[in-house]
Amino acid sequence: MSSDPIKVLLVEDNLGDARLMYEDLEEALPHQFQMTHVRRLSEALEYLWEETCNVVLLDLGLPDSHGIDTLVVTRAQAPGVPIVVLTGFQDEALAVEALKGGAQDYLVKGQTDSKLLGRSLRYAIVRKATEEALLRQGVALARAEELQRSRQRLMEAQERVRRETSAQLHDGVQEKLLILKGNLQGILKGTSSASETTPILSEVIDGLSQVIERQIGVLSRRLYPANLSHGLVPAFLSFGDQFKAGPAVEIELGEELMRREKADRNLVPEQVKLAVYRIAEEALTNVVKHAKAGKVTVRLDASGEGWLRLMVRDDGQGFDAQSAPGGLGVATMRDYADAVGGQCAVHSVPGVGTEVTAALPLPRPGAEHLKALEKGGD
Ligand SMILES: Nc1ncnc2c1ncn2[C@@H]1O[C@H](COP(=O)(O)OP(=O)(O)OP(=O)(O)O)[C@@H](O)[C@H]1O
Ligand SMILES: [Mg+2]
């Protein structure tokens, strides 16, 4: 405890009791405390409004207030200050009520000595500080949870727009262009090969095919990987094709993941699937954009401990995290992991390469059953 004196507010209407209390305290904490004595609740409230103190010794029976109300009103005035209540010896029930009402401790008048008083005050101060710290931790935890929920909402909103735009491109624009292409092919069939329009028509049809298959197809898939609905395994295997412009992509899918996903296509929740897909996608995009790598390995597995684990490792030029210009990619990978309660880290060594790792939680077997029980289902 600091060398500053402990400031004690004694609220006690009986002068004899107050003097005894002072003497006991002087014996327990010689020259280590500074006491202010008041006799009425109104004076105590006045004092607590103006001043601070380390602990209040509070008699619950005062000329202007009786019983538990005395505690309730005092706490409302100084919620951060520990309170030790003083009760009569036949008031044990009231003492227990006071503890439930937020008092840190109680002392029975006439049964207190200096040792008990000193210990009770110290205990009350430490206990109150611990309670406050726990409360702050609880508030911090609640804020962190709210932040995670808000991140989740943002991700969901973003993914929904991407999914809808992708569907419109695929089902709307692409379908219409395919019909147009079919019509043009019909016209071409009916046109003599000697006609001047034949080569022009053929060129238009080829151009259309390119737009349909390459541009719209790629754009639609980049916006939203529709093959995720068939599972992570096919979606990850398609990375080889998507990133063929870059270094050789080696994809290693763990046997356990393949086995478990085959048995249950919904093994990985939708949010987690999207998160791990987006992290791998950004990591691979970074390899193509920045790494100058010869090879990149993508590893994905579901470990027995209930984690989906990803590693994307390249043998490129690496970078210094302190000096690299920060884009959105690395931060977004972490956001995707955070939003589902997972972790993502980027480790890079200049001249050696870069490694992106992520671990995202999978529902534990039996968790659904527990959730149903919690909800009162069967
Ligand atoms: N695999 C990698 N190899 C080398 N450098 C990398 C690699 N991944 C990231 N970097 C470096 O880290 C920086 C930050 O990456 P990040 O993905 O956050 O941003 P970006 O790719 O530059 O832009 P954005 O992702 O927003 O389009 C990059 O600019 C690059 O310098
Ligand atoms: Mg990037």
Q: Judge if the beta carbon of residue 274 lies within 6 A of ligand 1.
A: no
317 C-alpha to center of ligand 1: Å?
Answer: 12
Put the strands of the sheet holding 295-303 in their side by side order: 248-253, 295-303, 307-314, 353-361, 343-349
Question: Which among 281, 296, 319, 328 is the best mutation to test ligand 1's pocket, defined by most ligand atoms within 8 Å of the CB?
Answer: 319
Rounded to whole angstroms, the Cα distance separating 306 from 318 reads 31
Q: Provide the whole-model pTM.
A: 0.67
Question: Which among 282, 289, 311 is the best mutation to test ligand 1's pocket, defined by most ligand atoms within 8 Å of the CB?
Answer: 289
Ligand of minimum distance to the alpha carbon of 346: 1
Q: What is the DSSP letter of 365?
A: T
The burial of 61, by beta-carbon neighbours within 10 Å (0-12 exposed, 13-18 middle, 19 or more buried), is given as middle
CB 264 within 8 A of CB 363: no
The burial of 143, by beta-carbon neighbours within 10 Å (0-12 exposed, 13-18 middle, 19 or more buried), is given as exposed
List the pLDDT tens digit at each of the 378 positions of the chain. 457 899 999 999 999 999 999 999 999 989 899 999 999 999 999 999 999 899 999 999 999 999 999 999 999 998 889 999 999 878 889 999 999 999 999 999 888 899 999 999 999 999 999 998 998 999 899 898 888 888 889 888 989 999 999 989 888 898 999 999 999 999 999 988 888 889 999 999 999 999 888 888 888 888 998 888 889 999 999 998 888 888 999 999 999 889 888 888 888 998 999 999 999 999 999 999 999 999 999 999 987 678 899 999 999 999 998 887 778 999 999 999 998 989 999 999 999 999 999 999 988 665 554 444 445 443
* 92-100 vs 68-77: helix crossing angle, rounded to 10: 30
331 C-alpha to center of ligand 2: Å?
Answer: 9
Q: Is residue 351 left, alpha or beta, with left meaning phi > 0 and alpha meaning psi from -120 to 50?
A: left
Q: Judge if the beta carbon of residue 356 lies within 6 A of ligand 1.
A: no
Ligand 1 atom with the shortest distance to the CA of 354: 1
Ligand 1 atom with the shortest distance to the CA of 353: 3
Distant-in-sequence, close-in-space partners of 21: CB < 8 Å, separation ≥ 6: 10, 12, 57, 86, 112, 117
